[in-house]
Amino acid sequence: MNWVKRLSRRRWLAFLAIMGPGLVTATADNDAGGIATYASVGAAYGFQMLWILLLITFSLAVVQEMCARMGVVTGKGLSDLIREQFGVKTTAFAMLTLLIANGATTIAEFVGIAAASELLGVPKYLTVPLAAVFVWLVVVRGSYRRAEKIFLLLSLAFFTYVLAGFLARPDWGQVAHGLFVPVVVPESRFLLLFIATVGTTITPWMQFYLQASIVDKGLTVRDFGYARADVLFGAFVTSFFAFFIIVATGATLFVTGIHQIDSADQAALALTPIAGPLGGQLFAIGLLGASLLGASILPLSTAYAVCEAFGWERGVNQTWADAPIFYGLYTGMIILGALVALIPGAPLFLILLLSQDVNGILLPIILILMLRLTNDPRLMGKFVNTRLANILGWTTAITLIIATIILIYTSVFEMPF
Percentage of residues of the chain with pLDDT beyond 90: 12
When pLDDT is cut at 50, 70 and 90, the band that residue 335 belongs to is: very high
Q: What is the pLDDT of residue 18?
A: 47
For residues 337-369, b (16+ Cβ closer than 10 Å) or e, as one string?
bbebbbeeeeebeebbebbbbbbbebbbbbbeb
Q: What is the pLDDT of residue 358?
A: 66
User: How far apart, in whole angstroms, are the C-alpha atoms of residue 389 and residue 375?
Assistant: 10
DSSP 217: T
User: How far apart, in whole angstroms, are the C-alpha atoms of residue 367 and residue 370?
Assistant: 5
- In terms of average pLDDT, the best of 220-224, 290-294, 376-380 is 376-380
User: How far apart, in whole angstroms, are the C-alpha atoms of residue 383 and residue 387?
Assistant: 12
Residue 284, in any domain of the structure: yes
Residue 16, in any domain of the structure: no
Q: What are 102-121's pLDDT values in tens digits?
A: 888 888 888 888 888 887 88
User: How far apart, in whole angstroms, are the C-alpha atoms of residue 298 and residue 316?
Assistant: 14
User: Which comes out higher in pLDDT, residue 23 or 173?
Assistant: 173
Q: What is the pLDDT of residue 332?
A: 93
Angle at 288 between CA 281 and CA 227, to 5 degrees: 120
Q: What is the pLDDT of residue 175?
A: 93
Angle at 144 between CA 92 and CA 147, to 5 degrees: 105
Residue 256, in any domain of the structure: yes
Q: What is the mean pLDDT of residues 343-361?
A: 64
Angle at 332 between CA 331 and CA 333, to 5 degrees: 95
Residue 345, in any domain of the structure: yes
User: Which comes out higher in pLDDT, residue 392 or 351?
Assistant: 392
- Evaluate if residue 15 carries a pLDDT over 60: no
Q: What is the pLDDT of residue 57?
A: 87
Helices (H), 120-250: 124-140, 144-155, 159-167, 172-180, 188-201, 204-216, 224-249
Please tell me whether the overall predicted TM-score, pTM, comes out greater than 0.85 for this model. Answer: no
Q: What are 32-58's pLDDT values in tens digits?
A: 777 778 888 888 899 999 999 888 888
Taking Cα atoms as reference points, which of 257, 258, 235, 262 lies closest to residue 37?
262
When pLDDT is cut at 50, 70 and 90, the band that residue 371 belongs to is: very high
Q: What are 264-296's pLDDT values in tens digits?
A: 566 666 556 555 666 667 777 777 887 888 888
- Evaluate if residue 355 carries a pLDDT over 70: no
The CA-atom distances, in angstroms, between 248 and each of 54, 70, 79, 229, 252 are: 18, 37, 39, 29, 6
Helical axes 159-167 vs 264-275, angle rounded to 10°: 40
User: How far apart, in whole angstroms, are the C-alpha atoms of residue 60 and residue 232?
Assistant: 8
Residue 359, in any domain of the structure: yes
Residue 1, in any domain of the structure: no
Residue 396, in any domain of the structure: yes
Q: What is the mean pLDDT of residues 141-149?
A: 66
Which 3-state string (H, E, C) describes 224-235?
A: HHHHHHHHHHHH
Q: What CATH number is attached to the domain comprising 105?
A: 1.20.1740.10
Q: What is the pLDDT of residue 133?
A: 92
- Evaluate if residue 327 carries a pLDDT over 70: yes
User: How far apart, in whole angstroms, are the C-alpha atoms of residue 38 and residue 42?
Assistant: 6
Taking Cα atoms as reference points, which of 129, 157, 134, 160 lies closest to residue 147?
134
Q: What is the mean pLDDT of residues 228-250?
A: 87
When pLDDT is cut at 50, 70 and 90, the band that residue 174 belongs to is: very high
The answer to whether 285 touches 157, Cβ cutoff 8 Å, is yes
Q: How many CB atoms neighbour CB 179 within 10 A?
A: 18
Instruction: Indicate the average pLDDT of the chain.
Output: 79
User: How far apart, in whole angstroms, are the C-alpha atoms of residue 244 and residue 72?
Assistant: 33
The answer to whether 332 touches 106, Cβ cutoff 8 Å, is no
Taking Cα atoms as reference points, which of 369, 395, 371 lies closest to residue 385?
371
Q: Is the dihedral of CA 114, 115, 119, 120 positive or negative?
A: negative
- Evaluate if residue 26 carries a pLDDT over 70: no
Q: What is the mean pLDDT of residues 353-367?
A: 70
- Evaluate if residue 173 carries a pLDDT over 90: yes
Range of weakest confidence among 190-204, 239-253, 309-323, 387-401: 190-204
Taking Cα atoms as reference points, which of 263, 265, 27 lies closest to residue 124?
265
- Phi, psi of 183, deg, nearest 5: -130, 130
Q: What is the pLDDT of residue 58?
A: 85
- Number of structural domains in the chain: 1
Provide the residue range defining the domain that includes 221. 24-413
Taking Cα atoms as reference points, which of 1, 34, 91, 63 lies closest to residue 289?
34
Q: What is the pLDDT of residue 22?
A: 59
Q: What is the mean pLDDT of residues 88-96?
A: 85
Residue 10, in any domain of the structure: no
